[in-house]
Amino acid sequence: MSRSRIILLVEDNPDDVELTLRAFERSKLANDIIVARDGAEALDYLLATGAHAGRDPAALPEVVLLDLKLPKVDGLEVLQRIRADERTRRLPVVILTSSKEERDVLRSYDLGANSFVRKPVDFVQFLDAARHLGLYWLVLNEPSPAAAGRE
């Protein structure tokens, strides 16, 4: 069974969205990147509600790259709601943020984040980080059996 290879990028900063898209394009690892520009849009996509009500809720991304500081619903609340829903609770979530706050790291892991990555400021470092993230989550990581059957 083939894997979805879809990444959900939850990011409100247009510059960071562009940088991330360019990094994944250069790494040639992602077939499709869905961008949600706030926490509410991310939840609508994942739970197939609101503007995404017609989407197949079983077709989940391979991984969610989640910023913390988001409009409408912040990243920690998004993470908490992902983990609270039976359909998405095993979905890999990587916090991808510029936050250097220890409390953000602790809270992210407390709420069930799979990884916490600080965004590098340097473009070359960011490209390298995105390539490693993509390689790990899209190629090397073995998804949970419940997640593998979704398509």
Instruction: Read off the CATH number of the domain in which 47 is found.
Output: 3.40.50.2300
How many independent structural domains does the chain possess? 1
Residues in CB range of 9: below 8 A, 6 or more apart: 17, 20, 21, 33, 34, 35, 36, 65
Residues in CB range of 102: below 8 A, 6 or more apart: none
Is 148 part of any domain? no
Task: Please give the pLDDT value at position 130.
Answer: 77
For residue 33, pLDDT over 60 is answered with yes
For residue 150, pLDDT over 50 is answered with no
Is 151 part of any domain? no
Query: Closest by alpha carbon to 62, among 12, 104, 3?
Result: 3
Task: Please give the pLDDT value at position 149.
Answer: 44
Residues in CB range of 18: below 8 A, 6 or more apart: none
Domain residues for 138? 6-142
Q: How far apart are CA 49 and CA 55, in angstroms?
A: 8
Amino acid at 122: D
Is 149 part of any domain? no
Is 94 part of any domain? yes
| pLDDT single digits (tens) 40-82 | 999 999 999 999 998 988 889 989 999 999 999 999 999 999 9
Q: How confident is the model at residue 2 (pLDDT cuts 50, 70, 90)?
A: very low
Task: Please give the pLDDT value at position 38.
Answer: 97
Q: How confident is the model at residue 29 (pLDDT cuts 50, 70, 90)?
A: low
For residue 10, pLDDT over 60 is answered with yes
Task: Please give the pLDDT value at position 102.
Answer: 94
Is 82 part of any domain? yes
Is 49 part of any domain? yes
Is 147 part of any domain? no
Sheet order of strands, 32-36 included: 32-36, 6-10, 63-66, 93-97, 115-118
Task: Please give the pLDDT value at position 57.
Answer: 84
> Higher pLDDT residue, 113 or 142?
113
Judge contact between 66 and 78, C-beta under 8 A: yes
